């Protein structure tokens, strides 16, 4: 027997219609590439998203065609999120921090038809446009009078002139909720990047899940600041969840330094922010050296790479801000787990609570996870046994775009490439990426654990642990360290700092001071590059 409820497809256009109807005057505030602050409302977003949809019709862009964006977090990018997907085209957000050759490769692989870019990326476009034969229209996200006369880019037009000609009414089409809505390439540290192709259904379900109280707890009373880029896994789905709950949305544009982010948080009374640890490091550095406090910020989601314990403690103890540690990946839209405590933890000591908060957290409903051994056997949830982390759920990838790399699932589960433990309460903790874990004498050493100890030292700005070949133990860990400016810390002092914090055999064999740890396009440490940098390094005898 079938149920007898209405069958409405879960479409992204419904999110923007809801925001415009029920939260018409909630603000969307952006620091623009031009440097000034732009503010308008959810009602305006909807109108201009409809102009985008009409604009795409006028350009003759077919249904399902890919529209690339090379843009910071801002209101025009938000309009493209809803206008492109809402009109049944596919939004392809591109990471501008990739090298131009990779950007061109991705644009061609996705077969983008239109490319919209912030003016900061004009030099990239000037370098690649001749190598992207598929693109029929280049659109600069600026006013008509800001368009350079002699850019050399054929068919270049300004976004404002393009949508300005269009009516702001549009009947969003209704179609199968499994239709593709947006896509994002993984950073591809090995081989060519592969793309996750999200659907309307996966995006709307993810938006519901992300807003839950044990996830980001987003509500209409929030002022939310996604520092995590809209070009990286849809800013963790925040634009969609924000429209769903109708909160105020604040965009930092290109200004991600500590002072700019701090000023924006204060000026726009931000209550909730989300970003990767490297950005928060800059924010905390600025706040502490200027002795500043947040007046409205209450909680922040930190993920993308392991959040150092010292950062969680500093946010809480010095600033009264709760850190929600989160884990996910491009292939998971991206949210998998978030770390919020259970009722039974309310009365445990602060120290116990801290131990839990360091974990990557519990699965949100919709995500199922397990850890398995090398032979695929499921491992116990005891908080100690570690294994390969597998996931499944309706916003988790089934196959990559164009079937690149073959069929990735194993018995219906997506292998994440992460190694983790899960405790009896369901809290998952990432030990390492499987390719970063250090194998010493048949035992595994978590590079994250080794980095976390170094990061807790007051003289250390950044630390990365890698394994070095060893004749007897296979591999031994060493830690590459960037000192804080003016810090006097020595190798011996840092090695002694590990005493009592990790098991004796896990202690790194050496500390190597470096000027900088190489970072990838999404702000994560690039250990492949670090290994190349240290290829002539020899372990101390």
Chosen residue from 73, 87, 93, 186 binding ligand ADP by CB under 6 A: 186
Question: Could you say whether residue 418 binds ligand ADP (CB under 6 A)?
Answer: yes
Chosen residue from 327, 400, 497, 498 binding ligand ADP by CB under 6 A: 327
Q: Which one is catalytic: 186, 271, 300, 340?
A: 186
Q: Is 63 in contact with 88 (CB distance < 8 Å)?
A: yes
For ligand ADP, give the closer residue by CB, 88 or 93: 93
Distance (Å, rounded) from C-alpha 152 to C-alpha 189?
Answer: 32
Q: Which one is catalytic: 27, 278, 392, 444?
A: 444
Q: Is 252 in contact with 266 (CB distance < 8 Å)?
A: no
Q: Is 163 in contact with 55 (CB distance < 8 Å)?
A: yes
For ligand ADP, give the closer residue by CB, 380 or 417: 417
Distance (Å, rounded) from C-alpha 178 to C-alpha 9?
Answer: 9
Distance (Å, rounded) from C-alpha 69 to C-alpha 116?
Answer: 5
What is the pattern of x (binds ligand ADP, CB under 6 A) and - over residues 338-377?
A: ----------------------x-----------------
Q: Which one is catalytic: 268, 331, 451, 475?
A: 331
Segment 433 to 472, residues that bind ligand ADP, using CB under 6 A: 433
Q: Give SS3 for 96.
A: coil
Question: Could you say whether residue 303 binds ligand ADP (CB under 6 A)?
Answer: yes
Question: Could you say whether residue 97 binds ligand ADP (CB under 6 A)?
Answer: no
Q: Which H or E run includes 76?
A: helix 75-86
Can you read off the two tokens belonging to residue 38?
Answer: 């732009």
Chosen residue from 64, 123, 405, 417 binding ligand ADP by CB under 6 A: 417
Q: What is the DSSP letter of 87?
A: T
Question: Could you say whether residue 89 binds ligand ADP (CB under 6 A)?
Answer: no
For ligand ADP, give the closer residue by CB, 192 or 269: 192
For ligand ADP, give the closer residue by CB, 51 or 186: 186
Q: What is the DSSP letter of 201?
A: H
Distance (Å, rounded) from C-alpha 535 to C-alpha 541?
Answer: 17
Question: Could you say whether residue 42 binds ligand ADP (CB under 6 A)?
Answer: no
For ligand ADP, give the closer residue by CB, 23 or 194: 194
Q: Is 418 in contact with 433 (CB distance < 8 Å)?
A: yes
Q: Where are the alpha helices (DSSP H) in 358-472?
A: 447-455
Question: Could you say whether residue 38 binds ligand ADP (CB under 6 A)?
Answer: no
Question: Could you say whether residue 329 binds ligand ADP (CB under 6 A)?
Answer: yes
CB-based burial label for 538 (10 Å; 0-12, 13-18, 19+) = exposed
Q: Which one is catalytic: 169, 439, 505, 532?
A: 439
User: Comparing C-alpha atoms, which of 439, 510, 435 is closest to residue 473?
Assistant: 439
Question: Could you say whether residue 394 binds ligand ADP (CB under 6 A)?
Answer: no
Q: Which stretch binds ligand ADP (CB under 6 A): 117-125, 288-296, 380-388, 411-419?
A: 411-419
Q: How far is the CB of 432 from ligand ADP (least distance, A)?
A: 8
Segment 221 to 260, residues that bind ligand ADP, using CB under 6 A: none
Question: Could you say whether residue 430 binds ligand ADP (CB under 6 A)?
Answer: yes
Active site residue 331: yes
Question: Could you say whether residue 273 binds ligand ADP (CB under 6 A)?
Answer: no
23-29's contacts with Cβ under 8 Å and 24+ in sequence apart are 23/220, 23/246, 23/247, 26/220, 26/246, 26/247, 26/248, 26/249, 27/248, 27/249, 28/75, 28/78, 28/248, 28/249, 28/250, 28/251, 29/248, 29/249, 29/250, 29/251, 29/268
Q: What is the DSSP letter of 485?
A: T
Question: Could you say whether residue 306 binds ligand ADP (CB under 6 A)?
Answer: yes
User: Comparing C-alpha atoms, which of 291, 266, 228 is closest to residue 37?
Assistant: 266
Active site residue 355: no
Chosen residue from 104, 522, 523, 530 binding ligand ADP by CB under 6 A: 522
Chosen residue from 305, 314, 446, 447 binding ligand ADP by CB under 6 A: 305
Active site residues: 186, 331, 439, 444
- List of residues contacting ligand ADP (CB under 6 A): 186-187, 303-306, 325-327, 329-330, 360, 416-418, 430, 433, 522, 524
């Amino acid at each position: 027997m079938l149920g007898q409820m209405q069958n409405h497809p879960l479409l992204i256009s419904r999110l923007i219609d809801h925001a415009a109807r029920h939260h018409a005057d909630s603000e969307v505030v952006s620091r623009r590439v031009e440097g000034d602050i732009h503010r308008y409302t959810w009602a305006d977003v909807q109108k201009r998203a409809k102009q985008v949809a009409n604009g795409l019709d006028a350009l003759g862009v077919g249904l399902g065609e890919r529209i690339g964006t090379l843009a910071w977090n801002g209101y025009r990018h938000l309009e493209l999120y809803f206008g492109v997907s809402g009109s049944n085209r596919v939004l392809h957000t591109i990471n501008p921090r990739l090298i131009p050759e990779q950007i061109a490769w991705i644009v061609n692989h996705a077969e983008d038809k239109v490319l919209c870019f912030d003016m900061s990326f004009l030099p990239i476009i000037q370098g690649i446009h001749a190598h992207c034969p598929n693109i029929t229209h280049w659109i600069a996200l600026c006013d008509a009078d800001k368009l350079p006369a002699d850019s050399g880019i054929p068919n270049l037009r300004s976004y404002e002139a393009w949508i300005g000609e269009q009516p702001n009414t549009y009947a969003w089409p209704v179609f199968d909720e499994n239709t593709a809505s947006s896509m994002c390439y993984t950073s591809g540290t090995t081989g060519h990047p592969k793309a996750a192709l999200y659907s309307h259904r996966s995006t709307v379900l993810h938006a519901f899940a992300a807003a839950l109280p044990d996830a980001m707890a987003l509500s209409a009373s929030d002022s939310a600041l996604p520092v995590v880029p809209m070009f990286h896994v849809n800013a963790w789905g925040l634009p969609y969840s924000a429209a769903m709950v109708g909160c105020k949305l604040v965009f930092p544009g290109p200004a991600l330094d500590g002072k700019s982010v701090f000023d924006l948080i204060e000026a726009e009374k931000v209550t909730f922010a989300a970003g990767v640890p490297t950005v928060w490091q800059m924010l905390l550095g600025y706040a502490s050296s200027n002795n500043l406090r947040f007046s409205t910020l209450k909680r922040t989601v930190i993920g993308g790479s392991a959040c150092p314990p010292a950062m969680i403690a500093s946010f809480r103890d010095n600033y009264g801000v709760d850190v929600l540690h989160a884990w996910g990946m491009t292939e998971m839209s991206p949210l998998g787990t978030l770390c919020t405590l259970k009722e039974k933890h309310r009365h445990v000591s602060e120290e116990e609570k801290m131990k839990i908060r360091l974990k990557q957290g519990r699965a949100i409903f919709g995500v199922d996870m397990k850890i398995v051994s090398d032979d695929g056997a499921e491992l116990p949830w005891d908080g100690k046994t570690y294994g390969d982390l597998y996931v499944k759920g309706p916003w988790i990838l089934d196959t990559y775009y164009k079937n690149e790399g073959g069929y990735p699932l194993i018995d219906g589960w997506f292998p994440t490439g992460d190694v983790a433990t899960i405790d009896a309460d369901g809290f998952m903790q990432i030990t390492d990426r499987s390719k970063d874990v250090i194998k010493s004498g048949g035992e595994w050493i978590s590079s994250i654990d080794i980095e976390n100890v170094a990061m807790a030292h007051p003289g250390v700005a950044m630390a990365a642990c890698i394994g070095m070949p060893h004749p007897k133990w296979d591999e031994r860990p060493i830690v590459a360290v960037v000192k804080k400016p003016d810090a006097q810390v020595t190798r011996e002092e840092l090695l002694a700092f590990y005493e009592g914090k990790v098991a004796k055999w896990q202690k790194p064999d050496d500390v190597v001071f470096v000027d900088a740890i190489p970072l990838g396009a999404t702000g994560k440490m690039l250990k492949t590059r670090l290994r190349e940098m240290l290829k002539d390094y020899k372990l101390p005898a």
